[in-house]
Structure 1
Amino acid sequence: MHFKALLAATAAAVAAVSAVPATAETIAIRAGSVIVNADSEPTGPALIVVEDGKVVAVMEGAAEAVADRVIDLSDKTVLPGLIDLHTHLSGDPSGEFWRAATNPPEWYTLIAAKNARITALAGFTTVRDLGSRTDQVTQSLRRATESGVTPGPRIVTSARTISIVGGHGDTNGFHKHVNDVLASGFTCTGPLECAERVRTASKYGADLIKITATGGVLSQQGRGLEAHFTDAEMKSIVDTAETLGLKVAAHAHGARGIEAAARAGVHTIEHGTYIDEAAAKAMNANGTTLVPTLMAFEGIKKNLGTGFYTPVVEQKIQAVSEFAGTIVERALRYDVKIAFGTDAGVFPHGENAGEFALMVAGGMSPREALASATTGAAEVLGMEDQLGRIAPGYSADIIAVDGNPLADVSVLEDVGFVMVRGRVID
């Protein structure tokens, strides 16, 4: 076959596969009980009907199942799929920062596919991926999970992170020529250059923008954890993103960096380690949501003193550790809105649900914690009319557990059934 004809045939085949609905069959799920959203109580026995990847009916009681396939979850509590607003699917925990100089891009793609399945099986049917290891890996994975080529959650991705030159998110720790080869192309200096990076991210398929508004813990630079971007740079990023219809997530530890990012109009603060009253006031004034990523702090603390991290990273971990346990408590004190996110990749993927117990230990109720990972997270994504509930017209993102998570959030750490977009994940 002529090359052009072969190319056209291949493109047509790919388009045909992508156009196939999540499922053409009608599926009935018999549930022992259903929590249709975080505000509701368990229903008792119920029947959920799914067609073409969406919920079409939720019927309480022992309704008759008229469907192509019946799934029996009559001994379990069924609830909406969970949403993790801060993951890094293309990375696994490692203190070996030099691996960036030895691993090819294809490796990170395979790692991302592995972690997508693991994340879905843990009950997380939608994730926001905030920073991939190489170009196009999460954009490609987003397409693969949507079309059913590989199992995994719905992916909303920022792709590469935008950072200042020489700051957290830039390549540090190598000789100059190695740093130059490994550079992401998404560092900037000055408002004009930062605006250009936003436009480039949009051009290559980012769903949102992620910036490192302050220094970070796991990078090799030791310049502290306060603000990196100037006010003018951050305002340029946010304003440019808004013209393109994109939201901005800001990695931020230091209180003044949090305050500056919120003032600039970012939509979420990731981590928020040193949040104080002034930072919270700026967040509340601008409608900024906190994504605390408590599991990340737990994960890195476990490796302290083991030689896992370099000395510069060890020092930063020690600095943040004493504050990490009170992030939620302080946010609640200042009435800051909280949504669920873990920073999975800093700790092993699949352990995301450990965040719930940490949120409850910080003062949230089990119901509030569940809402933060369902209706609350869906609102952050701007997808509250599609995700976070089991209701007619919503995506068939459904999980099942033993017990009642509104009484004991730890049951969410052992998910026994997962459906994403009407597809059962095995």
Structure 2
Amino acid sequence: MCLHDHDAAVVHPAPGVVRRNVLAGAAALAGLSTASVLGAPAAEAASGDAPPAPRYHGRPARPGALLIVGGTMLDPLTGHVTPDAVVVLDEGVVAAAGTRDETRAAVARVAGRAQTIEVHGRWVLPGLVDVHVHVNALADARAVLRAGATTVRSGSSSFYQDVALRPLVDWAPGSVPRMRAAGVFVSPQLGDTVLADPALAPLAALAGGVRSTSDLAYLTRVNLSRGVDVVKTRANPRAGLPEQDPTELVYDREQIAAVVSAARGRGVLCHAYSEAGIDGAVRAGVRSIEHGVFVGDSTIDLMARRGTFFTPTTAAIVGLSESPNPVLAARGREYVPVLQAAIREAHARGVTVVAGTDSFGTDVDPIGVEVRLLIEAGLPRLDAVRAATTHAASLLGLTGQVGRLSRGHRADVVVVDTDPLQDDRALERVSLVVAQGVVARNEL
């Protein structure tokens, strides 16, 4: 759980430094090369305009047609269940989803060229969304995808690997999840992350680290110049280091507000544990609170009024209690019941709770584990499923694209063995993952 310190700066490029050179380095660090994506499923060539890939002679891939037939389909938005459903995927989007009668015309249009996967006796859902992960290599992204998360929001990376991984959904469908990239962490100490971009060099020798509002704004602008979708900052230190106090205030309301202002409308996610830190971050205008263990009643009410999302990363906090380090284990045992109470209160008062695992590297907590822990904390099962589908899509600005199996949505699907409205562990038992219209995992 954030057992890393990806502090990133946001500044304008230094003279002679161009964006593609920085991102080429990020791609190398992420493990991206021609050889590394050869294992991705083949797809047909597309005829549309290519996404940014300067002077490359080819075009992005266009996935073919796929039929997922016979399962029970759950719509997280409405809770409606469709037995013996058919999902028609074509060219990377949902062409139709529903009963056999409702999908008959769409099935006829792909006849003769569609792959058919029979899933009788299983449950079909939209691809899941993990709103807090750390992927610094291709192997990390693939592990998250195989666990069922077809869309993710980065919780920061060390060298812009998340930005470099993001275009693979177009060029190698089925190889990585859809990515909302955060770039580098807006945090006091940059460490080796200063090597991610020559534009970060001015921040390397600051006494006390990146703390002034002008330097925080500069660091944020550097991230923006590298193409991030969101910005990650903090109010408190990490809980995963025994020598740090997670309730100490690192950035106050004014400092976080400088990040929010410089982000220019991109959502800011804020790592926060203490009531003072959480309250300052919410008042500063962050889009979501990450962890949020000691959030108070008045701040929960403020979050509800402002529409601030809550990402409790329950799996990561539970993981602390299982640590071999006695300080961390004691911290986890203290934090878990407090966080569970906060989740219940937040949900009861109208705060939207979303699912994020805070997974790092290839040691992935499946997003289904986070859903189950949200249920154990007190969320109704359907709301816990929404935390990893429709509610998560809303946080990421992807409503109408992910989180449902509806015509025009992205062709992301998971199939599980049991009913998620009856079995708390259902989303942990993923047997099929389809990402961007391509089968990424099939254990039927």
Q: TM-score range by the shorter chain?
A: 0.7 to 0.9
Q: Any runs of at least 4 consecutive aligned residues in structure 1 with deviations exceeding 6 A, and if so which?
A: 10-14, 178-186
Kindly tell me: are residues 147 and 274 of structure 1, through their superposed partners in 2, closer, same or farther at Cα, counting changes over 3 Å? same
Structure 2 residues not aligned, in runs of 5+: 1-33, 35-51, 204-208
How far residue 50 of structure 1 moved from its aligned partner, in angstroms, is 1.2
- Does the alignment pair 1:339 with 2:378? no
User: 2 CA distance for matches of 1:182 and 1:382?
Assistant: 27
Paired AA for residue 20 in structure 1: A
Which among 19, 27, 49 is matched to residue 60 of structure 2? 19
Which among 166, 172, 178 is matched to residue 154 of structure 1? 178
Corresponding residue for residue 136 of structure 1: 160
User: 2 CA distance for matches of 1:356 and 1:385?
Assistant: 22
Corresponding residue for residue 89 of structure 2: 50
> In the alignment, is the contact (CA less than 8 A) between 2:315 and 2:365 conserved in 1?
no
User: 2 CA distance for matches of 1:275 and 1:347?
Assistant: 30
Q: Deviations over 1:79-136 (max 9, x none)?
A: 101000011123xxxxxxxxxxxxxxxxxxxxx211211211111100111121x312
Corresponding residue for residue 291 of structure 1: 311
How far residue 333 of structure 1 moved from its aligned partner, in angstroms, is 4.2
Corresponding residue for residue 302 of structure 2: 282
- Which SS does the other structure have where 2:122 is aligned? strand
Which among 264, 267, 271 is matched to residue 284 of structure 2? 264
> In the alignment, is the contact (CA less than 8 A) between 1:277 and 1:334 conserved in 2?
no
- Which SS does the other structure have where 2:425 is aligned? helix
Q: Deviations over 1:358-405 (max 9, x none)?
A: 111111111000011111000000110111010111001111111211
- Does the alignment pair 1:85 with 2:131? yes
> In the alignment, is the contact (CA less than 8 A) between 1:78 and 1:399 conserved in 2?
yes
Kindly tell me: are residues 269 and 72 of structure 1, through their superposed partners in 2, closer, same or farther at Cα, counting changes over 3 Å? same
Kindly tell me: are residues 116 and 197 of structure 1, through their superposed partners in 2, closer, same or farther at Cα, counting changes over 3 Å? same
Q: Deviations over 1:316-355 (max 9, x none)?
A: 5565355234331232344322111111128931533111
Corresponding residue for residue 12 of structure 2: none
Which among 95, 99, 107 is matched to residue 60 of structure 1? 99
How far residue 77 of structure 1 moved from its aligned partner, in angstroms, is 1.2
- Does the alignment pair 1:35 with 2:79? no
User: 1 CA distance for matches of 2:382 and 2:213?
Assistant: 42
Q: Deviations over 1:258-288 (max 9, x none)?
A: 0000000000000010011122123223221
- Does the alignment pair 1:227 with 2:249? yes
Taking only the aligned residue pairs, the percentage that are identical comes to 26
- Which SS does the other structure have where 1:163 is aligned? coil
Q: Mapping of 1:58-137 within 5 angstroms? A: 58-61=97-100, 65-66=107-108, 67=111, 68=113, 69-90=115-136, 112-132=137-157, 134-137=158-161
Q: Mapping of 1:398-413 within 5 angstroms? A: 398-413=413-428
> In the alignment, is the contact (CA less than 8 A) between 1:157 and 1:206 conserved in 2?
yes
Which among 357, 362, 371 is matched to residue 377 of structure 2? 362
Kindly tell me: are residues 203 and 13 of structure 1, through their superposed partners in 2, closer, same or farther at Cα, counting changes over 3 Å? closer
Kindly tell me: are residues 47 and 358 of structure 1, through their superposed partners in 2, closer, same or farther at Cα, counting changes over 3 Å? same
Q: Which moved more, 1:43-52 or 1:250-259?
A: 43-52
User: 1 CA distance for matches of 2:299 and 2:361?
Assistant: 25
User: 1 CA distance for matches of 2:128 and 2:406?
Assistant: 15
Structure 1 residues not aligned, in runs of 5+: 1-9, 91-111, 172-177
User: 1 CA distance for matches of 2:285 and 2:436?
Assistant: 32
Q: Which moved more, 1:261-270 or 1:279-288?
A: 279-288
> In the alignment, is the contact (CA less than 8 A) between 2:355 and 2:367 conserved in 1?
no
User: 1 CA distance for matches of 2:58 and 2:242?
Assistant: 43
How far residue 12 of structure 1 moved from its aligned partner, in angstroms, is 8.0
User: 2 CA distance for matches of 1:151 and 1:347?
Assistant: 15
Kindly tell me: are residues 347 and 149 of structure 1, through their superposed partners in 2, closer, same or farther at Cα, counting changes over 3 Å? closer
User: 1 CA distance for matches of 2:155 and 2:183?
Assistant: 7
- Does the alignment pair 1:217 with 2:226? no
> In the alignment, is the contact (CA less than 8 A) between 1:275 and 1:330 conserved in 2?
no
Kindly tell me: are residues 135 and 71 of structure 1, through their superposed partners in 2, closer, same or farther at Cα, counting changes over 3 Å? same
Corresponding residue for residue 273 of structure 1: 293
> In the alignment, is the contact (CA less than 8 A) between 1:31 and 1:78 conserved in 2?
no
Kindly tell me: are residues 57 and 150 of structure 1, through their superposed partners in 2, closer, same or farther at Cα, counting changes over 3 Å? closer
What is the root-mean-square deviation in Å for CA atoms of aligned residues? 2.8
User: 2 CA distance for matches of 1:44 and 1:33?
Assistant: 4
Q: Mapping of 1:302-313 within 5 angstroms? A: 302-305=322-325
> In the alignment, is the contact (CA less than 8 A) between 1:38 and 1:370 conserved in 2?
no
